[in-house]
Amino acid sequence: MSREIKKSKEMKVSVAMVLLLVTLGMFAPLISPYDPNELNLKSRLKYPCIEHPFGTDNFGRDVLSRVMYGARVSLFVAMSVVLLTSSVGIGLGIIAGYYGGIVDNAIMRLVDALLAFPNIILAIVILGIFGTSYLNLVIALAAVWWVSYARMVRGVVLSLKESEFILAVKALGANNFEIMAKHILPNAMSPVLPLMTLDLGSAILAISGLGFLGLGLQPPTPEWGVMLRDALPFMETHPYLMVFPGFMIMVSVLAFNMLGDSLRDVLDPKRRFEKGFEG
Amino acid sequence: MIAKRLATALLVMFFASFLSFSLLYLAPGSVADAVLREQLGFEPTEDEVVAFITKYNLDQPFIVQYYIWLKLFVTGKLICPQTGESVVDEFLYRFPVTLSLAFSAVLFASCLGIPFGVISAIKKDSVIDNVCRVVASIGVSIPSFWLALLLILFFCVRLKILPAFGFGFKNMILPTIALGFHLFASITRVTRGSMLEVLNEQYILVSRAKGLPERLIIIRHALKNAIIPVVTLIGLQLGHLLGGTVIIESIFSLPGIGKFLMDSIFARDYIAVSGFVMFIAFLFVIVNLIVDVVYMILDSRVRVD
């Protein structure tokens, strides 16, 4: 009983954190005190003060405003990644599980091949070879991540396919597409939702990591990883520059991790121990 | 059983090689131009480009090029245009660095994570348990590169007790912590959860009823079974760890395979990149194979299909 209460508390806290983050991202243009890319060479590298609570960077840009816009950028890219990843993964997973045979084999061998790479490595290489842009970033991350959705959904579909209600729908003359979209998809979603939430956190980590390596979004985009990279030369003299962006990454990942874990406990209690993989 | 698993691993390697080569093949712009420009430092002439293309068979169809590439790779004759060394030599030269980094990170993570998890489970809901859980939650969320920067800031810039760059025992401490911290946090969480589960089992109750000392029950009976999910976790996370070395090696300037991969990418040395991607896939498949075997030995109930 005490466990249930604790879990719901965890969920409330994480929902609050995620909502705060989304609000910050959505209303960044309204609440940020300065334009995130406004150069002001007169106030370069200012320590935190009243006008600039988080200080200013080497171009005189306000760090607080950039951190706020960072939430907008990170959330937007992370959501794009997760949406693309999950739709490709779920689609291919359902097709593989439903049709079986050659189709299943082809998809699963592709899955095996992709699983032979640590996921971030392939993203790094794709971005390194094809160049960095918003679209390439989303594609590079989605190209490797859809695999976990496909495997998970395929497993669910395999057991669902033989269930009586699907046989009944078939007997009623529903076509394959209808069965997959209307009857299998909704039933396959309960293990997928926690994974999507956890992956939002993983995506934020991966995006900032790639940004930090110089392979993600490019300056002057106010992205947290890019900001950390920009702060490197000033590490000894202006360490505050690298505190706030990193802290924001940690807090957002923590929020999505907590929310994903508590969702999983509610929706899919069997898989409690297995954690999502981070990039 | 193991033979079947080996066959699958070989098949996976084959597909992985196809994928690695496709990346090289699909690289936009002329690879010849890019490589020559890097090598010469100025625009290559028409003749030089043509010579390069024939030398590396870039005018052949995809499948032929793939065959040549694979043959060169397998026989160890794939040469990095950048350094003139073969990809195998480059890899073997850098592999020990990455291996020791990954190994020490796993060691660090398990030596701290397992005891923390066990203590957390035994003293459930106590102060220690809550502290462990908060640390673990933060640990799985903190970006490894940010942790690395904070460690450098604290130990190298402020306290000046550890060197930030270079390669040696003292230089490995911070990269190990930065790389292993995420794994340490996950191990703590999983050990705790799995211990709690096992401690509720009937055979633990029986051991207690028999009057066995608590220490013996925890270590001999509970931990022995609770450790299985932890081994699975370490196996699953090894790939993540391997990926993490890229970023950590870059920050600490450790001459490992991750740093070389990044340098090759920025130098547009795509041949080296394709070779290294292959080696990393190879490594990863072998690691997974070992994890499966260890898993089978640990838990006789598991049958890997």
In three state form, how does the secondary structure of B262-295 look? HHHHHCCCHHHHHHHHHHHHHHHHHHHHHHHHHH
Q: What string of H, E and C letters represents the secondary structure of chain B?
A: CHHHHHHHHHHHHHHHHHHHHHHHHHCCCCHHHHHHHHHHCCCCCHHHHHHHHHHCCCCCCHHHHHHHHHHHHHCCCCECCCCCCEHHHHHHHHHHHHHHHHHHHHHHHHHHHHHHHHHHHHCCCCHHHHHHHHHHHHHHHCCHHHHHHHHHHHHHHHCCCCCCCCCCHHHHHHHHHHHHHHHHHHHHHHHHHHHHHHHCCHHHHHHHHHCCCHHHHHHHHHHHHHHHHHHHHHHHHHHHHHHHHHHHHHHHCCCCHHHHHHHHHHCCCHHHHHHHHHHHHHHHHHHHHHHHHHHHHHCCCCCCC
**Residue A225: in which H helix or E strand, if any?**
helix A224-231
Residue B245 half-sphere exposure toward CB, CA atoms < 13 A:
29
* Yes or no, beta carbons of B149 and A277 under 8 Å apart: no
Chains A & B: contacts with CB separation below 8 Å:
150
Residues of chain B with C-beta less than 8 angstroms from the C-beta of A130: 26-28
Give dist(CA B129, CA A78) in Å, integer: 33
Task: Look at residues A199, A206, A217, A223 and name the one whose alpha carbon lies nearest to residue A120.
Answer: A206
Report CA A268 to chain centroid distance, whole Å: 20
Of the residues A2, A11, A198, A213, the best mutation for testing chain B's interface (the one with the most B CB atoms within 10 Å of its CB) is A213
Q: A121 vs B265: CB contact, 8 Å cut-off? A: no
d(CA B242, CA B115): 24
Residue with more model confidence, B102 or A48: B102
Residues of A in contact with B281 (CB under 8 A): 116-117
State the nearest Cα–Cα gap between B236 and chain A, in angstroms: 8
- Mutual angle of helices A243-267 and B144-151, in 10-degree steps: 140
- Is residue B301 left, alpha or beta, with left meaning phi > 0 and alpha meaning psi from -120 to 50? alpha
CB A121 within 8 A of CB B246: yes
* C-alpha span between B297 and B97 (Å, rounded): 29
Residue B222 has pLDDT above 90, yes or no: no
Distance CA B242, CA B120 (A): 28
The pLDDT of residue A253:
93
Nearest to residue B185, comparing CAs of B243, B129, B135?
B135
pLDDT tens track, chain A, 279 positions: 455 555 678 888 889 999 999 998 888 888 877 777 777 777 777 777 777 777 777 777 888 888 889 899 999 999 999 999 999 999 999 999 888 889 988 888 888 878 777 778 888 888 888 888 889 899 999 988 899 899 889 988 888 888 888 888 888 888 888 888 888 888 888 888 888 999 999 999 999 999 999 888 888 888 999 999 988 888 888 888 888 899 999 999 999 998 988 888 777 655 544 443 332
CB contact under 8 A, B16 and A277: no
The stretch B283-288 carries a mean pLDDT of: 82
Per-residue model confidence (pLDDT) at position B108: 94
Only one residue has tokens 């392939």, namely: A122
Cβ-based contacts of A117 with chain B (< 8 Å): 16, 19, 239, 277, 280-281, 284
The verdict on A249 touching B (C-beta cutoff 8 Å) is yes
* Window A:163-202, CB contacts with B under 8 Å: 201
From B88's Cα to the closest Cα of chain A, the distance in A is 18
Task: Say if the Cβ atoms of B143 and A254 lie within 8 Å.
Answer: no
CA separation for the pair B208, B206 (Å, rounded)? 5
Nearest Cα residue in chain B from A120 = B243
User: For B244-277, b where at least 16 C-beta lie within 10 A, e where not — what string?
Assistant: bbbbbbbbbebbbbbbbbbebbebbbbbbbbbbb
Task: Dump pLDDT digits (tens) for B254-282.
Answer: 888 988 888 888 887 778 888 888 888 88
Pick from B97, B144, B110, B137: which is nearest to B241 by CA?
Answer: B144
Question: Peptide bond preceding B213: is omega within 30 degrees of 0, i.e. cis?
Answer: no
A44-48, B101-105, B149-153: range with lowest mean pLDDT: A44-48
The nearest CA of chain B is from the CA of A27 a distance in Å of 25
- Give yes or no for a contact between A27 and A77, defined as CB atoms under 8 angstroms apart: no
Q: Of B17-21, B150-154, B222-226, B293-297, where does mean pLDDT reach its minimum?
A: B293-297
CA angle A105, A111, A117 (to 5 degrees): 145
Degrees, nearest 5: CA angle A155-A156-A157? 95
User: Using a CB-CB distance cutoff of 8 angstroms, which residues of chain B are in contact with residue A236?
Assistant: 157
What number of residues does chain B have? 305
pLDDT for A274 equals 43
The helix-helix angle for A224-231 and A185-213 (nearest 10°) equals: 20
**Are B191 and B121 contacting, i.e. CB atoms less than 8 angstroms apart?**
yes
Pairwise CA distance, residues B13 & B154, whole Å: 43
Residues paired with B75 in a beta bridge: none
Q: Which residues contact B225 (CB under 8 A, 6 or more apart)?
A: B198, B201
- B60 in Cβ contact with B245 (< 8 Å): no
CB A148 within 8 A of CB A92: no
* Residue A226 or B41, more confident: A226
Percent of residues, chain A, with pLDDT higher than 70: 93
What CATH topology corresponds to A2-24+63-278?
MetI-like fold (1.10.3720)
pLDDT of B10 above 90: no
Token pair for B171: 């230089």
DSSP state of A181: I
Contacts with B12 (C-beta within 8 Å, 6 or more apart), sequence order:
A112, A113, A115, A116, B285
Write phi, then psi, for A183 (nearest 5 degrees): -110, -35
What's this model's pTM, rounded to 2 decimal places? Answer: 0.86
3-state SS assignment for residue A175: coil
Contact B12 A113 (CB under 8 A): yes
User: What is the 3-class SS of A134-171, one letter each residue?
Assistant: HHHHHHHHHHHHHHHHHHHHHHHHHHHHCCHHHHHHHH
CB–CB contact A273 B193 (8 Å): yes
Nearest-CB residue to A118 (from B15, B140, B280): B280
Distance of alpha carbon A82 from the chain centroid: 5
Residue with tokens 């920009």: A230
Q: Quick check: B284 and A116 CB within 8 A? A: yes
Among A116, A208, A273, the residue with its CB nearest the CB of B285 is A116
Confidence category of residue B183, pLDDT binned at 50, 70, 90? very high
Q: What is the pLDDT of residue B51?
A: 74
A210 touches chain B (CB under 8 A): no
- Cβ of A122 within 8 Å of Cβ of B194? The answer is no
